[in-house]
Homo-oligomer: A and B are copies of this chain.
């Protein structure tokens, strides 16, 4: 721990760092890590080059901080529907019908096609951790619905795959309809009333 700087300066620094991080998260969602340049980040954040390289020594450090935070936020969102108190069937329904910007794609899933992400151990681990945890959350719900462990895991994987595939199709067609069709199709097969 170093001595506290003047409060005003400290706050300004924290806010600058925060704005850089938010800008990086947005740009990485829109374009991926590979296609996002440090320049784009400092321009969108309204800060400057000096600030960016002060708070994040490399593009890698910035990307890792941004992706790590996005993963945490997405898992919090998933828990909000999958891990609350209602019946398992209702939780599955909530998760599958959650509002999503289908055409924009999954903030994390899209990174599996990003060369910079997959070539980097830490970034790849962040993406892997997201899906590992998400699949575990969903598996528990199907177990609580009465499925044996193996079947619960298969069914959870199918459900998460439908969401990820719905994103791919909606993005490819530039239309939110495929995500809706894919999730409604699964809900019918699961015999969960729409």
Contact = CB atoms under 8 A, between A and B. Distances in A.
Interface of A: 31-32, 34-35, 105-106, 109-115, 118, 127-128, 130-132, 135, 151, 153-166, 168-169, 171-174, 178, 181-186, 188-190
A113 B32 contact: yes
Nearest to A155: B185
A69 B53 CA distance: 43
A184 B154 contact: yes
Given A113-B113, A115-B31, A131-B173, A185 B158 contact: yes
A178 B109 CA distance: 14
A100 to B, nearest CB: 13
Contacts of A113: 32, 105, 110-114, 171
Contacts of A178: 135, 157, 161
A162 to B, nearest CB: 5
Contacts of A153: 181
B172 A131 contact: yes
A173 B180 CA distance: 26
